[in-house]
Amino acid sequence: MFFKQFYLACLAHASYLIGSNGEACVVDPQRDIDEYLSEAKNNGLTIKYIFETHLHADFVSGHKELAEATGAKIVFSDQAKARFDHEAVADGTQFKIGDLTVTVLATPGHTPESICLLIKDESATPAKLLTGDTLFIGDVGRPDLVGKFGFSSEQMAGMLYDSLHNKLLTLPDETEVYPAHGAGSLCGKNISSESSSTIGNQRKFNYALQPMSKEQFVQMLTAQLPEVPAYFPLAVEANRSGATSIGDLKEAKAMMPKEVEEALLSTTKPATIILDTRSPAEFGQGHIPGAYSVGLGGQFASWCGTVIDAQSRMILVLAEDGQVDEAVTRLARAGLENVIGYLAGGMNAWQKAGSKVDTVEQVSVEELARRLEADPELRVLDVRRPGEYASGHVPRAKNISLSELEKHLEAVERGVKTAVICAGGYRSSMATSLLKRHGIGELVNVAGGTAAWIKAGLPVQTEAASCSAS
């Protein structure tokens, strides 16, 4: 058996190429497909099937483009109601790929159409189980992404309990588990950074698989769910309809400072925004007023989909002009396709043109500690998720998670100095850019974040979040 996992860190997404005797399948492909084509060619494999474990919400799949490039058949659950040519399958459907047998296990719970794929090799054991978002390493799929389709979170959690206990946990302990996501994905609450496991190990160590009643499981799984990013429903519909090939997207135009200024003044709908993809430190040193800060170095696409209206026309500010293709591709992976251009020459060109520049002061954790001691009026805003905040935060810090920030602007005091902090300085830079867009300007960004604060041995409080996402 040929088996390879492709891991896309910026989306915490795992996809797979699996083959035998010259035939292969791809499972849960990312939007840009070149690496599957290259890997298959290099190993003498013809891609015969493209399996989707469900309609993904956190990324746009390349299943349609991959099928057009290879002639492979796209396979979805018959509950997905996909709007393009595909094979709709039910529980127990089997496929042959060389010496491999692929068996479809219907496992509703994360979504109604979720399936897992049990892959057995005639000449080898143990079997491999590709679990999509049904079972993660250390976690299970969240049940709250399909409410508008007629199912409550509690109903979905009940389905997931049945799928886990009646299907997956009946498999041998040595069965290898390969999920569609790792740590950082918003499709679960507590996903491990490990890339694979076994049914036996998950039975022992996964909190959601410990002995409990169905009612207890439902209550646990529906409590304190992470936020649902605004782009998730858009990605689902793109996956149901089949996304445009990345190569067909409009090329981002190199724009001079005057062109950028004119675009920002335009009343054309949708609105034009500036997306600054540089590091928090570079953003702080000088940026275009009103720009969003989302660094290309982190979970860029997910956060862009969370804080930016997906319909906005985007102009990119880059650390280097050569990063434009990477930025456009990463945005497209989350279904954000409205990049109209980029600032040619970056902020150096903008400043040389004499255009207005805004800044955000960056402070170290040691400087923050000094200022907190000297100034009782200084506020601290922690924009991490509630669980992160509760596990330890800077004294006097108030919690509003980044994804909920624009909904709770009234909770941010105006006219006072506020230090914004997160885990490492990435989300806090995003938060300062959002707050400045709403006229809240007396802000400093804490470089290194809470991790640096703790490493420096500074005092930490643990308590419940004061204002945060549910």
Quote the DSSP letter at residue 379.
Answer: E
The answer to whether 100 touches 18, Cβ cutoff 8 Å, is yes
Q: Within 10 Å of residue 441's Cβ, how many Cβ atoms?
A: 13
Backbone angles phi, psi at 126, to 5 degrees: -85, 175
Give me the CATH code for the 249-352 domain, please.
3.40.250.10
Render each residue's pLDDT in the chain as its tens digit; 470 residues.
Answer: 999 999 998 899 999 999 999 999 999 999 999 999 999 999 999 999 999 999 999 999 999 999 999 999 999 999 999 999 999 999 999 999 999 999 999 999 999 999 999 999 987 789 999 999 999 999 999 999 886 557 899 999 999 999 999 999 999 999 999 999 998 888 888 899 999 999 999 999 999 999 999 999 999 999 988 778 889 999 999 999 999 898 888 899 999 999 999 999 998 889 999 999 999 999 999 999 999 999 998 889 999 999 999 889 999 999 999 999 999 999 999 999 999 999 999 999 999 999 999 999 999 999 999 999 999 999 999 999 888 999 999 999 999 999 899 999 999 999 999 999 999 999 999 999 999 999 998 999 999 999 999 999 999 998 754 444 33
The answer to whether 311 touches 270, Cβ cutoff 8 Å, is yes
Tell me the Cα Rg of the chain: 23
Fold match, 2-235 / 361-455: no
Q: Which residue has the tokens 């054991």?
A: 125
Determine the residue type at 288.
I
What is the model's pLDDT at position 469?
39
Architecture of domain 2-235: 4-Layer Sandwich (3.60)
Strand partners, 97: 100
Quick: pLDDT tens for 177-220: 999 999 888 888 889 999 999 999 999 999 999 999 999 999 99
Domain 361-455: state its class: alpha beta
pTM of the predicted structure, to 2 decimals: 0.90
- In 3D space, the residue among 149, 151, 112 whose CA is nearest the CA of residue 134 turns out to be 112
The answer to whether 14 touches 180, Cβ cutoff 8 Å, is yes
- In 3D space, the residue among 455, 445, 331, 340 whose CA is nearest the CA of residue 392 turns out to be 455
Domain coordinates in residue numbering, the chain:
2-235, 249-352, 361-455
What is the model's pLDDT at position 321?
97
The answer to whether 273 touches 312, Cβ cutoff 8 Å, is yes
Quick: pLDDT tens for 259-276: 999 999 998 889 999 999
DSSP strands (E only) in 272-424: 272-276, 292-293, 313-317, 339-343, 361-363, 379-382, 397-399, 418-421
DSSP structure string for 252-295 = PEEE-HHHHHHHHH--PSSPEEEEE-S-HHHHHH-B-TT-EE--
> What residues have CB less than 8 Å from 368, skipping those under 6 apart?
380, 394, 419, 421, 444, 446, 453
